[in-house]
Amino acid sequence: MKAWLSRLSADLKNPPASPAELARFELDHALPGTAYTLDPVPALGEGYCIRRRSDSSVIISGGPTGLLYGAYALILRMLSGEGIPDVLESAPRYPLRMINCWDNADGSVERGYSGRSLFFEGGRLSYDPFRMRELGRLLASVGLNVLCINNVNVHDPAQQLLENMLPEAAALADLFRPFGVRLMFSVDFSQPMRHGVSSADPLDPAVRAWWKAAAERVYQAIPDLAGFLVKADSEGRPGPFTYGRNHADGANMLAEAVRPFGGVIVWRCFVYNCRQDWRDTKTDRPKAAWEHYAFLDGKFAENVILQVKHGPFDFQVREPVSPLLLGMKQTNLAMELQLAQEYTGHQIDLYTMIPMWRELFDEIPENNIMSLAAVSNLGRDENYTGHPLAAVNLYTYGLLAWDPAMEAESAVSRWVRLTYAFDPDQERTLTALLLSSRRTYEKYTAPLGIGWMITPHDHYGPNPSGYEYDLWGTYHKANRDAIGIDRTAAGTGFLLQYPESLRKKYEDPETCPDLLLLFYHRLPYSFRMKDGRTLVQRIYDDHFEGKKETEAMAEILEALPFPDPDREIILSRMELQKRNAREWCDIINTFFRRLSGVDDLHGRVIYD
Amino acid sequence: MKAWLSRLSADLKNPPASPAELARFELDHALPGTAYTLDPVPALGEGYCIRRRSDSSVIISGGPTGLLYGAYALILRMLSGEGIPDVLESAPRYPLRMINCWDNADGSVERGYSGRSLFFEGGRLSYDPFRMRELGRLLASVGLNVLCINNVNVHDPAQQLLENMLPEAAALADLFRPFGVRLMFSVDFSQPMRHGVSSADPLDPAVRAWWKAAAERVYQAIPDLAGFLVKADSEGRPGPFTYGRNHADGANMLAEAVRPFGGVIVWRCFVYNCRQDWRDTKTDRPKAAWEHYAFLDGKFAENVILQVKHGPFDFQVREPVSPLLLGMKQTNLAMELQLAQEYTGHQIDLYTMIPMWRELFDEIPENNIMSLAAVSNLGRDENYTGHPLAAVNLYTYGLLAWDPAMEAESAVSRWVRLTYAFDPDQERTLTALLLSSRRTYEKYTAPLGIGWMITPHDHYGPNPSGYEYDLWGTYHKANRDAIGIDRTAAGTGFLLQYPESLRKKYEDPETCPDLLLLFYHRLPYSFRMKDGRTLVQRIYDDHFEGKKETEAMAEILEALPFPDPDREIILSRMELQKRNAREWCDIINTFFRRLSGVDDLHGRVIYD
């Protein structure tokens, strides 16, 4: 077994018949000395209750999948040395804890850094059943229960998942079912037009009829399919706008088709003008999601979930929470995270995400969202996540999706304990390193919330003006005096989308958190930060620190007794990260010194 | 027939047996009323003499291919209305007038903007014999006599041209022979290693023996093959450096192999550090060719030709002449031009090159170079050059390669007359427009010789800092005060590679031509140009002018009676050029205003 399950038996040669059977297999192999009873309580659903009897045997009560989640909870707590209290009751906070794979039918993975697709190759489903079971165990062990296997950008022939690939897709669904994992498919909004329907207009009866028939066919093959995931009118994808319809029209039409079968429509809100003219200062991309969706609050069917990226841009290293997640009280919302390290180091640089997620959960009122989704960081690499330490993001995502109150440190240290047989000092060292890795990455990359100073398209490595005159709406407009976009009421007005308390906090540079200053404000290089440093000196300092911290991390990793092959992968990628941190540090500092003409106060080298 | 031969017969259904037979065919069809005699004078070689007899019949004397060149000269002068004097004697200035195709075996063309390869598809030779004959006529009509059909970056399986593709390559050589066109092959310096030889060391007897045997085999199949073209130790290509040998060792080894068969080795001098660290201010890419080759002057075999790009960088819109072309008096030199509009508008933007070439020829002493090569702008597009007006570059290249004293205006106006049946006013209008097009393109792109402010990799459209922190050695280091690299003795010393007169002219910003100022000097934005304008105002002015001139060109082209399909292609590409000129103008001006803080003196719009 791989990743944090490395101490479980690898012997799961055949698919178990049910979650309960799987629970027994895992318990028998992982805790051979422990007497246990599985006590089915259907009403508990995914929840479970573990009780220790006086004879130290245990009884696990739970619904059909709750038994499995309880078994894993018991196993992982015992293996990690944490142990269990006499009574441990738990149930997931969110009903849908989703993984979105951006896997293409040709076997490539969009923004994938862990090898090729686990599910597809050569235009068709193609997978190793053993690895599917391994993946099922990984997901089940942290309570993840929905797996969307194909890219939201549905490239031909992935549409065939609803067509002639359906029998094979049903076989894959069968394979995951005992793991409590339901499949989901990304669908192409224009799919009826592949079948002689003359439009994809959601109000056209022929279109509605096509989707109804399609849903019926699909659910006959996969009765527990979670539903469809849709990226519409976004970055060139087809959608309702073509027909003068809004996104409620589009989503509700699909929702009607899957409702008889208990399916949901997960509708992504990543809609913005990706052909913006850089000269246009009226359009401000972070405003886009709100403008497209907020007025539709309350208009969506009950089985529609709007899936909103956590920040208003696109998975930058530091963004405020998307205002859409704070509004839309009458709508089902899912927050979308990204495990794939698209902008955060490509699973070469270390970037443990849970500190960032904690900030998000602390900002979003408890009941504003009802599900979670995360873009997958999985691939065909032997270790599934490319970088062995990137697995901590999949693991902690599962933990947070189950219980968003989970603390970052305990989640990460649990993962460390399960994954590596380290002594307590080493455990603490690695836990601290992982927890600090996001801030380090942030320090040496784009400063103070400005974002986007990354190599266009590829999204690894620095390019301070790479997007400056491009069509993506992501500008910093740095000149010799100042940098940033004013997003207050005096500027683009983006801040007006927030509740008043947040708006007030952010609109004044004196109360806005330093790390978000350049997200909201245009400021001169001479601006005084709260600690008295100038903006440009703060930028220099962060970058020198980020580089230095990376070098320190390299020494720490070198000293830790990672087993092979992890050690070789971790150390060789750290060499690349050190190079990357140096490039970022030097280029960003040079960029700001060329513009500002200001030397570093401490005389460190900034190149001409 | 296509391009400037549109008024010739298209009926050349079969390959002619000889240049003389082709000459007769062309004369009979193009000038049906003209009595002529072909008078073979082998000693004239490629030269010819056309005499008009008193009965107005003509006699064309010439060597084997001279007869053909004489026939085309007569035909084109008659068709263009120029007529001929009583005696017209002519012989080419350069024995090798070469076209280098960058065609890959897979059918793609590196930096090709005219469709896919005319010669290759799917990893093998694949061509339309009719189009080969058409191409033969185009080349012969302007005296071009060497066609290197494969990319200097020899990607697998193009090596097979010397291996199992050889019989088919020989058939292609047969096809071009009556047109006076000899084939050439780009070779992979490490090719012996594909055949069990353990190295490619030019001093290793096994390597020498392999190349000798290869040459023997190749020349048996194609006895008049012009030779081999080699890109070695350049941008990742294999070469002698791997074995601690210099480029004379490498070139001479190959030269020895082809010498018995009269072949030449054309050895490209495009060698530089393409993995430069942007922080390294000692390395200066324009110095590279001189540093790699100048000390080898006199060390190359007689049948080696060093092929040197015309400028020290790489086909930028404005570069000084390469110092290597002014030194190396004891070495055979060919100057390399680029018809493919890699950095000069992708055959979308108009860019007539002969004004640039005239500047080069005016700078290079008569006997310094002994041949010419040009990277092809040909492809499978119906019109061969993508943009119909780009054909003027192929045509005028042929004319200059034959007679480098040819004036730009007469060359271009001849092409216009042959290509379009315009009235004299329209002819003058189009000629003037084409002649001005290079300067217009220069005005709206990178200013005053700085170069490289172009989208990386793709090389179309503006990106002022796209290469600034990259590995290619092409930096401008613009900051809030100044821009440019000091290449005088006080700076990188590149200027020391020039003869004293040129060095003196360029080293003083007061005598250096404005248009090369930023090639040689680092200057503040407040620098006063000779006409009193500041540097930054001059940059603004040029860019506004370039945009305006492009708009004016569009109106002129719209009014000219181009036939279809040329008209449609010309006007639609001009729309793209207008958009490109606007982007360049606005982005470059914004870039400089952000840095300098200086407003346009005339209050024109420069965006924030």
Residue linked to tokens 């059943």: A129
Residue A149 confidence (pLDDT) above 80: yes
Candidates A463, A478, A607; nearest CB to B594:
A478
Q: B605: which chain A residues are within 8 Å (Cβ-Cβ)?
A: none
Q: What is the distance between the alpha carbons of residues A578 and A571, in angstroms, rounded to a whole number? A: 10
Contact A479 B279 (CB under 8 A): no
pLDDT attached to residue A426? 98
> Of residues B342, B349, B507, B542, which has the active-site annotation?
B342
Burial class of residue A608 (count of CB atoms within 10 Å of its CB; 0-12, 13-18, 19+): exposed
Shortest distance, CA B597 to any CA of chain A (angstroms):
7
CB-count burial class (<10 Å; 0-12, 13-18, 19+) for B279: middle
* Distance, CA of A327 to CA of A297 (rounded, Å): 9
Interface test with B, best of A476, A479, A590, A595 (most B CBs within 10 A): A479
Residues above pLDDT 70, as percent of chain A: 100
Chain B CB within 8 Å of residue A282 CB: no
Contact flag B583-A469 (C-beta cutoff 8 Å): yes
Does the pLDDT of residue A2 top 90, yes or no?
no
Is the CB of A608 less than 8 angstroms away from the CB of B477? yes
> What is the distance between the alpha carbons of residues B24 and B377, in angstroms, rounded to a whole number?
29
This prediction's pTM: 0.95
- Candidates A279, A480, A608; nearest CB to B281: A608
Catalytic, B201? Answer no
Of B579, B567, B378, B575, nearest in space to B460 by CA: B579
C-alpha neighbours within 13 Å on the C-beta side of residue B231: 19
Which of B453, B580, B587, B594 has the most A C-beta neighbours within 10 Å, making it the best mutation to test the interface with A?
Answer: B594
A595: which residues sit within 8 A by CB, 6+ positions away? A478, A479, A480, A483, A525, B479, B480, B594, B595
Residue A598 contacts B, CB cutoff 8 Å: no
User: Is B456 in the A-facing interface, judged by CB distances under 8 Å?
Assistant: no
Instruction: Determine the residue of chain B that is closest to A467 in CA distance.
Output: B463
CB contact under 8 A, B465 and A462: no
Contact state of A463 with B469 under an 8 Å Cβ cutoff? yes
What are residue A437's phi and psi, to 5 degrees? -65, -30
Q: What is residue B604's predicted lDDT score, i.e. its pLDDT?
A: 98
With CA atoms as reference, the chain B residue closest to A597 would be B480
Site from B469, B526, B595 to mutate, A interface, most A CB atoms within 10 angstroms = B469
Among chain B residues, CA nearest to A277? B583
Residue B233, classed as helix, strand or coil, is coil
pLDDT for position B179 = 98
Q: What is the pLDDT of residue B7?
A: 84
Q: Are B15 and B135 in contact (CB under 8 A)?
A: no
For residue B4, what is the DSSP state? G
Q: What is the DSSP string of A502-570?
A: HHHHHHSTTTS-GGGHHHH--EETTPBPTTS-BHHHHHHHHHHHHHHHHHHHHHHHHHS-PPTTHHHHH
- Residue A6: the pLDDT is 87
How many helices (H) and strands (E) chain A has is answered by 15, 16
Contact criterion met (CB below 8 Å) for A184 and A373:
no
CB-CB neighbors (< 8 A) of B594 in chain A: 477-480, 595
Considering only alpha carbons, which residue of chain B is nearest residue A608? B477
Q: Does A283 touch chain B (CB under 8 A)?
A: no
**Which of B82, B128, B235, B280 is labelled catalytic?**
B235
Q: Which of B455, B480, B591, B595 to mutate to test the interface with A (most CBs of A within 10 A)?
A: B480
pLDDT value for A365: 87
* Interchain proximity A479–B583, CB inside 8 Å: no
B608 interface with A at CB cutoff 8 Å: yes
Residue B52, chain A, CB below 8 Å: the answer is: no
pLDDT of residue B15: 85
DSSP A318-364: S-PPPGGGTS-TTS-EEEEEE-S-TTTTTTTS----HHHHHHHHHHS
pLDDT greater than 90 at residue A506: yes
Secondary structure of residue B216 in the 3-state scheme = helix
Q: Considering the candidates B314, B336, B427, B566, report the single residue annotated as catalytic.
A: B314
Q: Which residues of chain B have pLDDT under 70?
A: 1
The beta-carbon neighbor of B586 closest among A279, A590, A608 is A279
Decide: B604 and B540 in contact? Cβ < 8 Å. Answer: yes
A266 beta partners: A229, A305
| φ/ψ of residue B112, rounded to 5 | -100, 135
Average pLDDT, chain A: 96
B403 touches A: beta carbon within 8 Å: no
Domains of chain A: 3-90 (3.30.160), 96-189+224-256+264-275+291-419 (3.20.20.80), 422-484+522-608 (3.90.1330.10)
Q: For A36-137, list the strands marked E by DSSP.
A: 36-40, 48-52, 58-62, 87-90, 96-100, 120-121, 124-125
Q: Is the pLDDT of residue A161 over 90?
A: yes
Average pLDDT over residues A404-429: 96
Structure-token pair, residue B588: 């470059």
Decide if B130 touches A, using CB distance below 8 A.
Answer: no
What is residue B427's predicted lDDT score, i.e. its pLDDT? 97
Q: How far apart are CA B562 and CA B540, in angstroms?
A: 34
Query: How much is the pLDDT for A522?
Result: 98
Cα(A138)–Cα(A5) distance, integer angstroms: 7
Cβ–Cβ contact B462 with A under 8 A: yes
Cα gap B509→B30, rounded to integer Å: 54
Say whether B593 and A469 touch across the interface (CB within 8 A): no
**B490 vs A: CB within 8 A:** no
CB-nearest partner of A480 from B477, B590, B595: B595
Distance from B279 to chain A by nearest Cα, in Å? 6
User: B77 with B83: CB under 8 angstroms?
Assistant: yes
Question: What pLDDT is attached to residue A567?
Answer: 98
| B369 touching chain A per CB within 8 A | no
Task: Assess A608–B contact: CB distance below 8 Å, yes or no.
Answer: yes
Q: How far does the CA of residue A278 sit from the closest CA of chain B (Å)?
A: 9
The secondary structure element, H or E, covering residue B307 is strand B304-309
Q: Which amino acid is at B422?
A: F
Distance (Å) from the alpha carbon of A359 to chain B's nearest alpha carbon: 34
- A238 at interface of B, judged by CB pairs closer than 8 A: no
Tell me: pLDDT of A57 over 90.
yes
Give residue-wise pLDDT tens across range A270-308.
999 889 999 999 999 999 999 999 999 999 999 999 999
pLDDT, tens only, A73-105: 999 999 999 899 999 999 999 999 999 999 999
Residues in chain A closer than 8 A to B593 (CB atoms): 479
- Phi/psi-derived region of residue B268, left when phi > 0, alpha when psi is between -120 and 50, beta in every other case: beta
What is the ipTM score, two decimals? 0.93
- Residue B442 catalytic? no
